[in-house]
């Protein structure tokens, strides 16, 4: 029998009242497990797996008819906006709209590396500004790029407000 086989047949040493057990008392299983908890062999693996489970989509391409309808709604919105008071704070509560807006998820765009990715959200609130130079609208203090708007509805809708 080899030394290794003899070693395998030996039982775990029992320390009851000897100097070793006095210096090293038996540790509870929970505390022993805590010794190894900080060790992460695959650093960043959990975060990358969580990122993989996020559902995102590519922005849709609007048809010509849908673009025309959206442009008409936007033009009507601009005409209604021009009738509002010039001071931004005086406009609050006067013209409420909801827009279907595509928000890019930069992390998913980089992670998947197959083009722009994000999600669509309904954003409702007071229209505070329309900037034709930057092509943005300000909704509740948040500037939204007009090119990422896919639908416009006037009036306060039962939509999620962000």
Mean pLDDT of 91-105: 87
**pLDDT of 141 over the 60 cut:** yes
DSSP one-letter code for 128: E
Mean pLDDT of 110-134: 88
Percent share of the chain, pLDDT over 70: 89
Question: Could you count the other beta carbons within 10 Å of the beta carbon of residue 152?
Answer: 20
Q: Which of 96, 115, 104, 111 is nearest to 154 (CA)?
A: 96
pLDDT 10s digits, 49-86? 766 666 788 889 999 999 999 999 999 999 988 888 88
Q: Which of 83, 117, 112 is nearest to 102 (CA)?
A: 117
Instruction: Find the angle CA(114)-CA(117)-CA(121) to the nearest 5 degrees.
Output: 165
Which residues of 29-141 form beta strands (DSSP E)?
96-104, 118-131, 136-139
Cα 136 to Cα 10, 68, 84, 129, 141: the distances in Å are: 77, 18, 18, 8, 12
Mean pLDDT of 75-99: 84
Average pLDDT score, the chain = 83
Q: How high is the pLDDT of residue 120?
A: 93
How many whole angstroms separate alpha carbon 100 and alpha carbon 155?
Answer: 14
Percent share of the chain, pLDDT over 90: 27
Q: How high is the pLDDT of residue 4?
A: 81
Q: How high is the pLDDT of residue 51?
A: 64
């Amino acid at each position: 029998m080899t030394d290794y086989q003899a070693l395998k047949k030996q039982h775990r040493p029992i320390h009851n009242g000897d100097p070793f057990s006095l210096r090293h008392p038996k540790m509870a299983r929970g505390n022993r497990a805590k010794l190894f908890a900080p060790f992460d062999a695959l650093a960043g693996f959990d975060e990358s797996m969580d990122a993989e489970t996020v559902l995102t989509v590519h922005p849709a391409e609007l048809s010509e008819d849908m673009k025309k309808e959206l442009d008409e709604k936007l033009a009507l919105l601009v005409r209604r906006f021009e009738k509002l008071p010039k001071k931004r704070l005086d406009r609050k509560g006067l013209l409420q709209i909801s827009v279907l807006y595509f928000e890019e998820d930069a992390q998913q765009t980089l992670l998947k590396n197959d083009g722009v990715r994000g999600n669509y959200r309904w954003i409702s609130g007071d229209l505070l500004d329309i900037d034709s130079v930057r092509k943005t609208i300000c909704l509740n203090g948040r500037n939204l790029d007009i090119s990422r708007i896919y639908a416009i509805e006037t009036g306060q809708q039962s939509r999620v407000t962000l």
